[in-house]
Structure 1
């Protein structure tokens, strides 16, 4: 069985190792992807982007959400995740992405269980409409000329394994280069234990690489699931939020946990990037979702959490964090 360090290919695209960053909706922008790359991720996938937004030229979609930092390509490829249920719109969006030359791979979201996505027929709703799913994947491939991967769940409801059958159709009929498989149903979202035995069954039967995601929160869980399923690679998601060191730990590049000083330095880097990405005020509000991940890792309590949640700008947050930085510096 290959080591997680070993290189491999997705549709002819070289990937330097088998530890990847998952697409994180509303989170996986350029600096989150770059952060994962800084700590060893072999590939990073963007947050999901609307194919309709690209097709219709939505300004935020086509500028902010399609932004790729030049350094992202160092150490491995970048993938853009698209979602949408219309094959013609997907073909157009994929063509636009390819023309810009920003990414190496297009990933399709056919696993998101959030109602605002599924009610349009996109995301996990594709599990119940496999013909459309195949048509959408074919259109993305035709429009872009890039390798196309698809992120799937095991099924729509508990006990449903329709994702396995759809994975086969996507590879055999649409020419999909790899499948990222989350072996939980859309019904349970992130609850319950992933069905790694089902993932192993897909790995054995699918004539394409299977990337495993779901329930991979630490080195032990990643290693156990990788060995149990025989997957081609692993994709870290929620377990890496505020913890980019997990990529280095899984790859054996470090054994210890980050120090409080390292955590604060990393948070400072994230804050600087948010200002660069959105400006001080909008970036400050956006960062409210990030602060809890780092504050929890620092071992701080609710007082600091609540204070940061009340901030409107990055400078306000820096002022609140200043006493903690001072204490850590002299510790």
Structure 2
């Protein structure tokens, strides 16, 4: 969710429903070096509690230093270690969803982070493994539990699957059966009822939502209602969606501090918000090219506010739905799972996905 879960989008989602909202992935090297872009990504609203920070790193010493910095400077109330990212620039360094294969290195990172965190809870997010021939999730979950993490989240796909196919909820059930700490399920939570089904089928203690909230921050209102046992679900008409779009853009401008750049950041959300609605291609294109809030207001005024929510889009994937493929890995990465050395040049100097 790099480039998505910034302070503006998290605030928008909190306005719709309860939840633990995690910031964009921050690399540990960039944090300890106080990279200006990374430090800006650490921003939280004054009323945002708990402040949840996601860290990514490969070098146990740098990860521990970053966690220590978070604690000493009171930068967050919760730390989530990302071992689930499947993007090539991360896995080819041995990071993200590639790292748990080197289980000794994984243990050094997690244990060091937990020890450095002291009173701040640490959680781990991961995938099933690199591919079907190199599954790691049960062993990694047990290692994380032994290291003292508060919970483990599992995306029911391998790195090779990327975002294709269907998430394997059976793997989430297997991990839940193997661990004593809470297990959270991730993958194919498109609607609130998907979350209820996942918990029922897997025994998971909760769910993690990613792509399902793209252009749909009201999903968290549905999730709140669902877990409270209430039947109501939010199906906004186009006028209500337009108001949410305007609010999102406004929050981005406020956060960025510059209207043209804030509006430019908003553009990528337009297609997600309007998915399934009867909006012509020309108007969609113009909305995806806005440079001011006044321009956005003018274009949103051309939408039909009474257009009902397109029910046919319910349950459909959002965001990336790419094809499976070979995972980029450091040379010889799969040869020795017991190796615990840090690959040369592994730590990334900037943050994001």
**Which range, TM-score by smaller chain?**
0.7 to 0.9
1:71 aligns with 2:47: yes
Q: Distance in 2 between matches of 1:315 and 1:129?
A: 52
1:268 aligns with 2:237: no
**Alignment deviations for residues 109-132 of structure 1 (CA, whole Å, 9 cap, x no partner):** 001000111122221121221211
Q: Which residue of 2 aligns with 1:244?
A: 217
Query: Which structure shows the bigger proportion of residues in helix conformation?
Result: 1
**Alignment deviations for residues 53-82 of structure 1 (CA, whole Å, 9 cap, x no partner):** 1111101111x2000001222xxx231000
Residue 163 of structure 1: which of 137, 153, 164 is its match?
Answer: 137
**1:90 positional shift:** 0.9
Contact 1:109 / 1:151 at 8 angstroms: preserved in 2? yes
**1:159 positional shift:** 5.0
The 5 Å alignment of 1:1-331 reads: 24-62=1-39, 64-73=40-49, 77-145=50-118, 146-158=120-132, 160-172=134-146, 174-252=147-225, 254-278=232-256, 279-296=258-275, 298-324=277-303, 327-328=304-305
When normalised by structure 1's length, the TM-score is: 0.85
Contact 2:184 / 2:208 at 8 angstroms: preserved in 1? yes
**1:42 positional shift:** 2.4
Q: Distance in 2 between matches of 1:100 and 1:318?
A: 40
More displaced, 43-52 or 24-33? 24-33
The alignment partner of 1:116 has SS state of: helix
Contact 1:51 / 1:83 at 8 angstroms: preserved in 2? yes
1:225–1:159 CA distance, 2 compared to 1 (3 A): farther
Contact 2:278 / 2:307 at 8 angstroms: preserved in 1? no
Contact 2:60 / 2:108 at 8 angstroms: preserved in 1? yes
Q: Which residue of 2 aligns with 1:6?
A: none
Q: Distance in 1 between matches of 2:97 and 2:80?
A: 14
Q: Distance in 2 between matches of 1:93 and 1:241?
A: 29
Q: Distance in 1 between matches of 2:136 and 2:180?
A: 17
More displaced, 200-209 or 248-257? 248-257
More displaced, 260-269 or 226-235? 260-269
Q: Distance in 1 between matches of 2:261 and 2:26?
A: 20
Q: Unpaired runs of 5+ in structure 2?
A: 309-353
Structure with more contact order per residue of length (Cα contacts < 8 Å, sep ≥ 6): 2
The alignment partner of 1:112 has SS state of: coil
1:299–1:148 CA distance, 2 compared to 1 (3 A): farther
RMSD: 2.0
Q: Unpaired runs of 5+ in structure 1?
A: 1-23
More displaced, 244-253 or 105-114? 244-253
**1:269 positional shift:** 0.9
The alignment partner of 1:156 has SS state of: coil
Q: Distance in 2 between matches of 1:164 and 1:247?
A: 29
When normalised by structure 2's length, the TM-score is: 0.80
Q: Which runs of 4+ in 1 moved over 4 A?
A: none
Query: Which structure shows the bigger proportion of residues in strand conformation?
Result: 1
1:222–1:272 CA distance, 2 compared to 1 (3 A): same
